Chains A and B, each alone.
Chain A
Amino acid sequence: MPDSLPRNIVDCSQLQQDLFIEADVAIVGTGAGGGVAARTLSQAGLRVVMIEEGPFKTTGDFRMQESDAYPTLYHDVANRKTDDKAITILQGRAVGGGTTVNWTSCFRIPEQTLAHWQQHYGWTHNSETLAPWYRRVESLFNIQPWPVHNASNSALVRGADKLGWQNDVIARNVRRCRNLGYCGMGCPVGAKQSTLLTCIPDAMKHDATLLTRLRAQQLIMRGDGIEEIECHALTAIGVDPTGVKVRVRARHVVLAAGGIGSPALMLRSRLPDPYGLVGKRTFLHITVGTFAHMRDRVDPYYGAPQTATSNQFLWRDGVTGEMGYKIEAVPLQPGLAATALGAFGIRHAELMEGLPYLQPLIAIMRDGFHDESAGGSVSLNSDGSPLLSYPLNNYLWRGIRHAYASLMQIQFAAGAQRVGAAHSDSAWYDNWLQAQAAVEQMPMKPHHARLFSAHVMGGCVMGADRTRSVVDLDGNHRHVSNLTVIDGSIFPTSIGANPSLPIYTLAAWQSEKLATSLRQA
């Protein structure tokens, strides 16, 4: 932590009295979308104010300890849940948003996904029109293939190769990364090129103001536009309001509070929503996992977290058929491991004892491409806080069953001694045939299968048809004259790949366009 914060960062938990601030553009949220927007708009000479509910923490604060990272840097202590508690959602809540804690895996939007969005949502982007924006963003975040595999990722490559399954090296947004593996707790050496270390400092150099520990509570309309944002300062712990209010008045508002966050703020503000679309079609890339016990130490907590992936089953039944999934490894520090392993008591203790030998794989389920995959929907608790419900149906469970089997198949091919699923009814299996037979029989039910998400997308769908989209093809709200959404909530389905690079890229394009129109106005 620097001794004194730069002048233009205000930690609102310390404010003793209400504040009123004016700017050209107010940006709510400083994650992947908000960070890029803040940089572009302030470089264009506009006066930018960023509003962030999380704290400002940076390289020197990151200590590779789950015990302080999760409460400080994540929503709900990295344990946000759907209404039925069946899905655990990891979502960043700090300056830099998800980019401060993410695992740095970067993918362009798959061709199939773009084609689907063109066909069904009237999107006009294709890989050619996006190419210059990808190049810009990839250079800004130093995104490059990272073929340095830890034991966990090596096992993924080894298993997939042996089976003849497609696999690739992952590109990462890092500079002089030391392969520590603690990306999820904030990079302690400043290697990760998050918006925290790239875009936000650039914006600050161009006189942007950053208000932290400040929650945008309500967008206050006047006529057909937003006149003011009412914000509540939060205590240092970061969840309860202190009572101090900050009013931010700006010509234009950029909503970049992410999936769940952006639609929730629209709902709280009762923005016009004639077709009832806000918060609907929230997608999660629901994630399931299996664990292999290897003969040699894996040390799954060390090394760059994700460097290899297999898309063998991503489009297994075509774009709109049975649900496909992307396969990746994950970093496994003990706290995360303890919650991912569903068992309790002696069995849990034994599983944890094997941690150094555990090799985890995950399948990221590509939701939203099929009629039976309509995603979740955001609503509000009585205190205005968001709540996500995500119905689980057989279409999804069939995909998950298929995924468990494939993950275990890779692990046995990679030489696993035994393999089990992160599922309460799973035992250890000694060979692939046994595992396959067991997966066939496993009950696919909430709370039995451990379900996670680290990729919240959708809820403010971007599209050409005004009856099916919250924002138009530039991200402008359809019924509010001065509101643009720039974050992961605009995607009409999940992406089928980790979302950060797609968000950075669209944000770069959207905010450039917005800067031009605001300068002309």
Chain B
Amino acid sequence: MLAGALPQPEREQNAAIEQIITGFDFTVAHFPPTVRNEIRQLLDLLVFPPTRVLLTGMFASWEKADASAVRAFISRWETSRFSLLRSGYSALHDLICGAWYVSPESWARIGYPGPPQLESR
């Protein structure tokens, strides 16, 4: 989802992924119970092998999946005829992209200088 957006050095990239996961969880914790359940169900579908293969076309488990297979799955969901898959796409998109770009670590690459400094009054 964020290919091309994360820092390259492995250590920094892992830190960024940690950051995104923390942000993802933080956001989910602030959703009402109904939405939390939907997200849990979505993640279950993605992890459970039969539904994973059925819905994403990915035979390999997530740890072993290569980037192009993941890209193909995301893109299939994005443009799927089934609105259920398209809505799964938007949920993952907003949560993952949102979590990364609200964190200051992402700002240098996109040239966002951050909020202005307020002189203390």
Contact = CB atoms under 8 A, between A and B. Distances in A.
B4 A383 contact: no
A349 B4 contact: yes
Interface string A326-360: 00000001110111011011101110110110000
B93 A335 contact: no
A339 B74 CA distance: 16
13 contacts: A85-B87, A239-B31, A239-B33, A333-B112, A334-B112, A338-B97, A342-B93, A348-B5, A349-B5, A356-B112, A385-B33, A424-B78, A446-B83
Interface in A81-98: 81, 84-86, 88
A238 B30 contact: yes
A447 B111 contact: no
B31 A77 contact: yes
Contacts of B14: none
Contacts of A446: 83, 86
A338 B31 contact: no
A64 B115 contact: yes
B31 A76 contact: yes
Interface string B84-121: 00110111011001101111001101111001101001
A355 B112 contact: yes
B23 interface: yes
Contacts of B121: 189
A67 B23 contact: yes
A8 interface: no
Interface string B3-16: 11100000000000
A345 B89 contact: no
A381 interface: yes
A345 B74 contact: yes
Nearest to B116: A180
A83 B102 CA distance: 26
A189 B106 CA distance: 26
Interface string A250-276: 000000000000000000000000000
Interface in A37-78: 63-67, 70-71, 76-77
A333 B115 CA distance: 9
A84 B101 contact: no
A482 interface: no
A121 interface: no
Contacts of B3: 345-346, 349
A501 to B, nearest CB: 28
Nearest to B97: A338
B89 A447 contact: yes
A339 B4 contact: no
B30 A355 contact: no
A77 B30 contact: yes
Given A182-B115, A339-B97, A334 B32 contact: no
A67 B118 CA distance: 19
A60 B84 CA distance: 42
A301 interface: yes
A188 interface: yes
B97 to A, nearest CB: 4
A79 B89 CA distance: 14
A348 B111 contact: no
Contacts of A381: 34
Interface residues of A, number: 51
Given A339-B94, A342-B90, A447-B90, 5 more contacts: A64-B116, A333-B112, A338-B98, A338-B100, A346-B4
A302 interface: yes
A476 B74 CA distance: 50
B40 interface: no
Contact of A352 (B26, B29, B110): B110
A301 B29 CA distance: 27
B65 interface: no
Given A355-B110, A424-B79, A239 B23 contact: no
Given A77-B30, A239-B32, A344-B93, A334 B1 contact: no
A79 B98 contact: yes
Given A76-B31, A353-B110, A355-B112, A85 B90 contact: yes
Given A66-B102, A67-B103, A189 B31 contact: no
A447 B98 CA distance: 17
A334 B107 contact: yes
B83 to A, nearest CB: 6
A237 interface: yes
B115 A76 contact: no
A372 interface: no
Contacts of B1: 344-345, 348
A166 B74 CA distance: 42
Contacts of A240: 33
Contact of B118 (A189, A337, A353): A189
B35 interface: yes
Given A335-B102, A337-B101, A385-B32, A65 B115 contact: yes
B41 interface: no
Max count, chain B CB within 10 A of own CB: residue among A79, A84, A88, A356 = A79
Contacts of B112: 301, 333-334, 355-356
Nearest to A79: B94
B34 to A, nearest CB: 5
B27 interface: yes
A84 to B, nearest CB: 6
Contact of A447 (B5, B75, B86, B97): B86
Max count, chain A CB within 10 A of own CB: residue among B23, B31, B98, B121 = B98
Given A239-B33, A338-B100, A346-B4, A77 B87 contact: no
Interface in A160-177: none
